A and B are shown apart, each in its own frame.
Chain A
Amino acid sequence: MTDNWIILGATSSMAKAFARAVADDGARVFLAGRDLKDLETSAFDCTQRGAPLAEAVLFDARDANTFGPIIDRVTKEDGTINVAVFVGSMPPQADIDLDPSLIDGVIADSFTGPAKFLQSIAPEMEARDSGTVIGVGSVAGDRGRIGNYVYGSAKAGFHTYLSGLRNRLTRSGGHVVTVKPGFVDSAMTWGIEGMFLVAPPEKVASDLLTAVEKKKDVIYTPFFWRIIMGIITRIPERIFKKMSV
């Protein structure tokens, strides 16, 4: 049975590496994002790497009208329906301080947009008694920090949503993997000060595939971020509130 993978936010380098990896496994891929012209090139690239079918589909996390057509398109195909969520946006915290209305966009991109999409497609997955959701969250969602707490809180909301969805889809043979990447070498982190232990997107993509195969619930990638965040979340709040990590 051939898998179908819907990849939300497919222009990111992590998503591109993941799409290539599932294409190599012979899955059909639907690359969802706003820059259709760019995604069409990525889609053709996937066909050359083993995807029997690859299409670019319009997706805007802030516009729920774009969700239905994607779901209609994918449900025409046989096989398991899987969704990988790579969307999210992280404007500099200083910009948000100047214009608090930016918060709406961050929450829509990183949490409510993908949650609405998943909520709409969940019944289709249940009907097929299968399917995997990969939700890319962030270590920033594990604790609010001065540098990016708006983004962090959106991701924290998304983590909680994913945990609930896992609870639901398990009943019909489905599965949800919550992924918390540390710093990934992508356009989002390029040129930002203070990055360390930056992982290449291909490494993250292969970690995601392993997590799907092994039906992991929550993974950190690379793995050592579990230890780092284990320490950070255990720092007492009265000390943490004075720190800038």
Chain B
Amino acid sequence: MLWKTLTYAGWGRVKQATGPVARPERLTSLADAQEDNAGPAIGNCRSYGDACLNSKGSAINMTRLDRVKSFDPDTGILHVEAGMRVGEIARLYAPFGWLPAVMPGTGFATVGGCIANDVHGKNHHGAGTFGNHVTEITLASGNTTRVITPQDDSDLFKATVGGLGQTGVIASAKLQLLACKGDVMTVTERRIDGFNEFIVALDASQATYTVGWIDATAKGDALGRGILEEGETGYGLMPEKKKSKSVPFNAPRFALSSPVVKMFNNAYFKRVPESGRTSVKPIQDFFFPLDRIHDWNKLYGKRGFMQFQCVVPPSQLDALQRMLEKIAHSGLASPLAVIKRMGSGRAGMMSFPMEGYTLAVDFRASAKAYKLIAELEGMTANAGGRVYLAKDATLEAKHVPTMYPELDSFAEIANASDPKGTLETDLTRRLRIRSAS
């Protein structure tokens, strides 16, 4: 059958939708589904909030359209269907010296999802976003397809990249892969004792891939302490990957209670020796550390979790420090907290990145967490920063036009491409993204 009524959720599991979902296994069935009951395309639902949900209509799950359509080993141009997973591209091509130019924190993200959220990775300061390396996108609507490129369809392309699926269903895309030496990573880890040192270290980092883990429970002098990780691809031989594990059931509340998180973070911090260390890892372990534990979102219990991710301009470091203080004093943070230097690279009108610093922290869902995140969102808006829509479940619509100044142009193009609004998602409705004037 074409349709199945499903209840599905974003990765954080705080938002859910129930509705008919089609999962085409070939292009003709994608066309059939769109003709029958058009809806937004979804992938592996790794966006955290409601960017991948449509509770007011249908959705088309693209994960079974996941094939390589062409590859040019001389130029590294790869044409894949939208359901192809980023981690699978790395697995197939890294041994031959090619990697996706930008990889998000999970290899389960699909190419369609990476484009629609214009995702970034640990090399954003140098490489820009995923969309900066997309050379062509095929949008499908029923039996008609449209091929767009950044050169010939500049506006539509910029509205499609980072466009939350609002300009059409992405059926396939051509990606410029990045030449790499091989499929292992040389990773250097260093302890960082506090917030200011972290900023200095991030600014000074010369590495291709840089990311900072922050102990979001540390206060006072230790505020902002953490571990700086720097990585380079290289050639080497590694033993076969261990089999991945999965979380079989929802964890109880105490699993991520404040004392447990403090203890965990302390141990995680001290895991790296004071002198720092350099090790060699398989690329998956560096780029997708959590993918080894399937369904790790269940660790947050059945109520789910939220991730707050913001970016603020370099002049607003004070604001970032105040956010961190607020988080540390709340005692609500989970071990997952990340800080990164961002460059100016962005490929779409609604892309998240801006020159500055980005902070991401996970919180188990609770009334206190909602309140805290709302305050952090306000602070981000005041600092001239942005909240990442791919992670968002809570933002107020009023913040969107200031955070995303190209919203009006975007809405105009999206409304022209999808006049009936069949591609709207719970997120675009909640944030009134399509009704900007």
A contact set with B: CB distance below 8 Å? 11-13, 16, 35, 37-38, 41-42, 44-45, 48-49, 186-187, 190-192
Instruction: Return the 6 tightest CB-CB contacts between A and B, nearest first.
Output: A191-B4, A191-B1, A45-B67, A38-B26, A48-B68, A45-B68
Residue-by-residue, is B1-30 near A (CB-CB < 8 Å gives 1, otherwise 0)? 111110000000000000000011111110
Residues of B within 8 A of A190 (CB): 1-2, 4, 23
Complex Cα distance, B88 from A49, in Å, reads: 11
Complex Cα distance, B68 from A186, in Å, reads: 20
Residue-by-residue, is B130-162 near A (CB-CB < 8 Å gives 1, otherwise 0)? 000000000000000000000000000000000
Residues of B within 8 A of A42 (CB): 67
Knowing A11-B25, A12-B25, A186-B25 touch, does A44 contact B68 (C-beta < 8 A)? yes
Contact B25 A41 (CB under 8 A): no
Interface check B71, CB cutoff 8 A = yes
Interface centre among A37, A42, A187, A192 (most CB of B within 10 A): A187
Residues of B within 8 A of A192 (CB): 1
Residues of A within 8 A of B26 (CB): 11, 35, 38
Interface check B64, CB cutoff 8 A = yes
Contact A41 B67 (CB under 8 A): yes
Can you list 7 A-B contacts (CB < 8 A)? A13-B25, A35-B26, A41-B67, A48-B68, A187-B24, A187-B64, A191-B4
In the complex, residue of chain A having the shortest beta-carbon distance to the beta carbon of B65: A41
Residues of A within 8 A of B68 (CB): 44-45, 48
Interface centre among A11, A13, A38 (most CB of B within 10 A): A38
Interface check B92, CB cutoff 8 A = yes
Q: Which of A13, A35, A41, A48 contacts B92 (CB 8 A)?
A: A48
Q: How far is the CB of A180 from chain B (nearest CB, A)?
A: 22
In the complex, residue of chain B having the shortest beta-carbon distance to the beta carbon of A50: B92
Complex Cα distance, B28 from A32, in Å, reads: 17
Interface centre among B1, B24, B26, B27 (most CB of A within 10 A): B26
Contact A44 B28 (CB under 8 A): no
Contact B69 A41 (CB under 8 A): yes
Number of interface residues of B (CB under 8 A): 20
Complex Cα distance, B146 from A70, in Å, reads: 35
Residues of B within 8 A of A38 (CB): 26-28
Interface check B70, CB cutoff 8 A = yes
Contact B25 A187 (CB under 8 A): yes
Complex Cα distance, B5 from A38, in Å, reads: 27
Contact B69 A44 (CB under 8 A): yes
Residues of B within 8 A of A44 (CB): 67-70
- Knowing that A187-B25, A190-B2, A191-B1 are A-B contacts, what are 5 other residue pairs whose CB atoms are under 8 Å apart, sorted by A's residue number? A35-B28, A38-B26, A44-B67, A48-B92, A190-B23
Complex Cα distance, B182 from A183, in Å, reads: 40
Complex Cα distance, B29 from A13, in Å, reads: 13
In the complex, residue of chain A having the shortest beta-carbon distance to the beta carbon of B91: A49
Complex Cα distance, B69 from A35, in Å, reads: 16
Residue-by-residue, is B72-95 near A (CB-CB < 8 Å gives 1, otherwise 0)? 000000000100000000001000
Complex Cα distance, B346 from A50, in Å, reads: 35
Complex Cα distance, B69 from A44, in Å, reads: 6
Q: How far is the CB of A40 from chain B (nearest CB, A)?
A: 9
Complex Cα distance, B25 from A13, in Å, reads: 7
Knowing A48-B92, A49-B92, A192-B1 touch, does A187 contact B67 (C-beta < 8 A)? no
Knowing A187-B23, A190-B23 touch, does A48 contact B71 (C-beta < 8 A)? yes
Q: How far is the CB of B37 from chain A (nearest CB, A)?
A: 12
Interface centre among A11, A35, A48, A186 (most CB of B within 10 A): A48
Complex Cα distance, B23 from A192, in Å, reads: 13
Q: How far is the CB of A15 from chain B (nearest CB, A)?
A: 10
Q: How far is the CB of A3 from chain B (nearest CB, A)?
A: 21
Residue-by-residue, is B292-309 near A (CB-CB < 8 Å gives 1, otherwise 0)? 000000000000000000
In the complex, residue of chain A having the shortest beta-carbon distance to the beta carbon of B64: A13
Q: How far is the CB of A186 from chain B (nearest CB, A)?
A: 7
Knowing A13-B25, A38-B26, A49-B92 touch, does A191 contact B2 (C-beta < 8 A)? yes
In the complex, residue of chain A having the shortest beta-carbon distance to the beta carbon of B78: A48
Residue-by-residue, is B174-188 near A (CB-CB < 8 Å gives 1, otherwise 0)? 000000000000000
In the complex, residue of chain A having the shortest beta-carbon distance to the beta carbon of B71: A48
Residues of B within 8 A of A41 (CB): 67, 69, 81
Residues of A within 8 A of B71 (CB): 48
Residues of B within 8 A of A35 (CB): 26, 28
